[in-house]
Structure 1
Amino acid sequence: MNGKELATRTLIQSSVVAALVLVLLTLLYAAEVFLVVFAGVLLAILFHNTAAWLHTTTGLPEKWSTAIALVFPFLALGMLIWFMAPDISNQAGELTDRVPKALKELEKQLRSYKWADRLIDQGGQMQDALPSGSKAFDLVSGLFSSTFGALGNLVIALAIGVFIAAMPRTYLSGLIHLIPIKHRDRTRAVLQATRSALASWLTAKLIAMAVIGCLTTLGLWLLEIDLALVLGIIAALLSFVPNIGPIVALVPALLIAFVSGPDQAMYVIALYAAIQTFESYILTPLLQQRMVDLPPALTITMQVLFGFLAGALGIIVATPLTAAAMVMIKMWYIEDILGDRSLESK
């Protein structure tokens, strides 16, 4: 190898390293933007798969199937809100009133124990050290800004999902043309495998969310726990986030039940534990063929990492992002770079 070839090779390697560093820095400092785009891609996959199912099942043209897939979810959501909004709104408002009362009742019960009384007093001393006055106003303002920021992210993700689902081939073709010609076929195969994995994961997760929501609502209703509908909706939505979501969903139900007595609280804990056991050992295995097998430790690690980088949004999309990364690592790194094809059939 002569000096010119060595210099050219060194320049190429340096450029690749610099590009990777630039991408990593961009993801680090603009993690929320990246995650919003990824959320939009998830929605696009959901819309596109719905359109493909309609096209295959009904024989409608692709354009009509896509139009229905894009419009129908919003119409269905609007109708659901129209018919159920009063009940949901009333129960949600009552929930916000009852949770503070339940916390006070819980504090009253706990203060009957000396060790708990000391812990509560220490917590009160820490609360007194929190900012007050204008600083407290800044904290409240930050809370409102983060809430509106979440709504803005949702709107942006929906817009991205709709536009990509409307013209998927345009965006895929544009992305493929950025890849060197000799690597385009492999890149297309990897992206297709990633899309299939995410589509299967989304389908299975939506089924599981619906089942968990219905079982939770029915179980709380049978236990005569107030606000069963809104608590079931909370359980369904939070089950999208593995590990963390079910624990968070239990808290308001447990507080509401505790007001009726410790026995009711124990019944609620047993109900949620039974539902999670059913989901983990019966429902998930039935849907396993539709889902990417994610090790729990890896999922929790990614949730913590992306939660640190982008807050709640990072926790929400950490699991599907991990599933996509596993497919890409398997095909590009393990199979292509390491030459290990032993996982191809797994």
Structure 2
Amino acid sequence: MTDARPRAETPGPSDHSDPTTRRELLRAAVWLGLGSAIFLAWTLSETLLLIIGALVFAAMLDGGARLLGRILPIGRGWRLLIVCLGVLGFLVWTVYFAGASIAGQFDMLRATILQQSTRLLAWGHQVGIITGGDQFNRIAQQLMGSIGKVTSAVGTAFGALSSLAMIVVLGLFFAVEPRLYERGVAWMLPMAKRDRFYDTSAKLGRTLRMLMAGRLLGMAVEGVGTWALLAIGGVPMAGLLGILTGLLAFLPNIGAIVSGVLIVLVGFSQGVETGLWAVGVYCVVQILDGYVIVPMVARRSVDLAPALVLGAQLLFGGLFGIIGLALADPIVAMLKVLLEERSRASADTARHDLLTPAG
């Protein structure tokens, strides 16, 4: 009677001792983990953006405390408290002294934009740019509907206060004890990689501080400069336009376009001379910010290409809304620092392998 068993047994899926099986299981685990990570990142994208926003806010507070340390030889905690009280005092002063008058100007601004947009569409219809009465009416209705949506979104912006409060609270925790959280992340890394992690973390913090310092400086220059120059030229709602321009300056490229449209529409509502003055004000402010402030900050932080920033804003804005749009610039800056450090680490490792003689 012959033996029916095969001469050479091959390992099956349940046999984990075979190197091939272990390798395939490892590959499957890696792909499964990668897919799970992508799914969790997409599901928790809003939470992750809130954490990134808190890090950006903490970088601004830390930058203010470091700047204050150059003139006040006191502890970091006291300097951070002074910065927080200064920010709170500025917000209270703005709401108390300018809140009532500016709140009344919002309706006036909305009516002015609608009126000027209708005039612009009518002019386009007269010169032949827009043909067909039905098409003109559809464009006007869509424009008014879009502006209505924007106005309603602004009116319901108070619904985002919970997210803003969370960013502020997390940012305060990060700013008070940054080393605690930095050591906590480093604890999860191998000992050999912790020094490089600390170096990368320091460069990320410096990049965010410089980027936000330039952003705040640009917001102040554009807001105050727009308000002052528009007020000199007799443009109505100069205070509101200055505040909107300063706030929109936090969004590079896109914010400048939106604020420019608002300024020009309001300016031409008072006549051609006032409109030309508004155009000149917008050009002067943007040239000062684009050719003086931005290059000065870029030399000390990460120099980001405008097309890269605009593309990231469109991408993050389409995926995550206004929060993604606002945080696109800091996220791109952090990614650039991480990629540069990773490339530098790979180059150092390759150089070390070349210089180390083979055993």
Q: TM-score, normalised by structure 1?
A: 0.83
In the alignment, which residue of structure 1 is the partner of 2:310?
Answer: 300
In the alignment, which residue of structure 1 is the partner of 2:112?
Answer: 98
Question: Of residues 311, 316, 335 in structure 1, which corresponds to 2:326?
Answer: 316
In the alignment, which residue of structure 2 is the partner of 1:279?
Answer: 289
Return the letter of the residue paired with 1:337: S
Q: Is the 8 A contact 2:130 2:136 kept in 1?
A: no
Between the two proteins, the alignment pairs up a number of residues equal to 333
User: Is 1:187–2:201 an aligned residue pair?
Assistant: no
User: Is 1:41–2:55 an aligned residue pair?
Assistant: yes
**Is there any run of 5+ residues in structure 1 with no aligned partner, and where?**
133-138
Identify if the C-alpha distance between structure 1 residues 232 and 152 changes in structure 2 by more than 3 Å, giving closer, same or farther. Answer: same
Offset from partner CA, 1:25-75 (integer Å, 9 cap, x none): 323333222112111111111112222333453122233223323333112
User: Is 1:159–2:144 an aligned residue pair?
Assistant: no
Identify if the C-alpha distance between structure 1 residues 195 and 235 changes in structure 2 by more than 3 Å, giving closer, same or farther. Answer: same
Q: Is the 8 A contact 2:125 2:136 kept in 1?
A: no
Q: CA deviation at 1:6?
A: 7.0
Q: Is the 8 A contact 1:106 1:258 kept in 2?
A: no
Identify if the C-alpha distance between structure 1 residues 75 and 144 changes in structure 2 by more than 3 Å, giving closer, same or farther. Answer: closer
Identify if the C-alpha distance between structure 1 residues 21 and 71 changes in structure 2 by more than 3 Å, giving closer, same or farther. Answer: farther
In the alignment, which residue of structure 2 is the partner of 1:135?
Answer: none
Question: Of residues 240, 243, 247 in structure 2, which corresponds to 1:237?
Answer: 247
User: Is 1:122–2:135 an aligned residue pair?
Assistant: yes
In the alignment, which residue of structure 1 is the partner of 2:71?
Answer: 57
Q: Is the 8 A contact 1:203 1:290 kept in 2?
A: no
With 279-288 and 106-115 compared, the bigger mean Cα shift is at 106-115
Q: Is the 8 A contact 1:31 1:309 kept in 2?
A: no
Q: Is the 8 A contact 2:227 2:241 kept in 1?
A: yes
Question: Of residues 74, 85, 105 in structure 2, which corresponds to 1:71?
Answer: 85
Return the letter of the residue paired with 1:122: Q
Q: Is the 8 A contact 2:317 2:324 kept in 1?
A: yes
Q: CA deviation at 1:160?
A: 1.2
Q: Is the 8 A contact 2:211 2:297 kept in 1?
A: no
Q: Is the 8 A contact 2:56 2:208 kept in 1?
A: yes
CA RMSD of aligned residues (A): 3.3
Identify if the C-alpha distance between structure 1 residues 265 and 56 changes in structure 2 by more than 3 Å, giving closer, same or farther. Answer: closer
Q: Is the 8 A contact 1:36 1:157 kept in 2?
A: yes
Q: Is the 8 A contact 1:335 1:341 kept in 2?
A: no
Q: Is the 8 A contact 2:245 2:256 kept in 1?
A: yes
Q: Is the 8 A contact 1:299 1:318 kept in 2?
A: yes
Identify if the C-alpha distance between structure 1 residues 55 and 126 changes in structure 2 by more than 3 Å, giving closer, same or farther. Answer: closer
Return the letter of the residue paired with 1:271: V
Q: Is the 8 A contact 2:230 2:238 kept in 1?
A: yes
Q: CA deviation at 1:209?
A: 1.3
Offset from partner CA, 1:86-129 (integer Å, 9 cap, x none): 332233343233323333343444443344353x6315347879
Question: Percent identity of the aligned residues?
Answer: 25
Q: Distance in 1 between matches of 2:188 and 2:39?
A: 21
**Is there any run of 5+ residues in structure 2 with no aligned partner, and where?**
1-16, 352-359
Q: Map of 1:136-151 to 2, 5 A cutoff?
A: 143=153, 147-151=157-161
Identify if the C-alpha distance between structure 1 residues 276 and 31 changes in structure 2 by more than 3 Å, giving closer, same or farther. Answer: same
User: Which fold has the larger relative contact order, with Cα–Cα distance below 8 Å and residues 6 or more apart in sequence?
Assistant: 1
Q: CA deviation at 1:194?
A: 0.7
Q: Is the 8 A contact 2:121 2:140 kept in 1?
A: no
Q: CA deviation at 1:15?
A: 4.6
Q: Distance in 2 between matches of 1:12 and 1:52?
A: 47
Identify if the C-alpha distance between structure 1 residues 267 and 75 changes in structure 2 by more than 3 Å, giving closer, same or farther. Answer: closer
Q: Distance in 2 between matches of 1:279 and 1:84?
A: 25
In the alignment, which residue of structure 1 is the partner of 2:356?
Answer: none
Q: Is the 8 A contact 1:105 1:259 kept in 2?
A: no
Offset from partner CA, 1:295-346 (integer Å, 9 cap, x none): 12211111111011111111111011100110001102x112355999xxxx
With 14-23 and 205-214 compared, the bigger mean Cα shift is at 14-23
Question: Of residues 233, 241, 258 in structure 2, which corresponds to 1:248?
Answer: 258
Offset from partner CA, 1:185-227 (integer Å, 9 cap, x none): 1112111111110111111111111111122112212221101
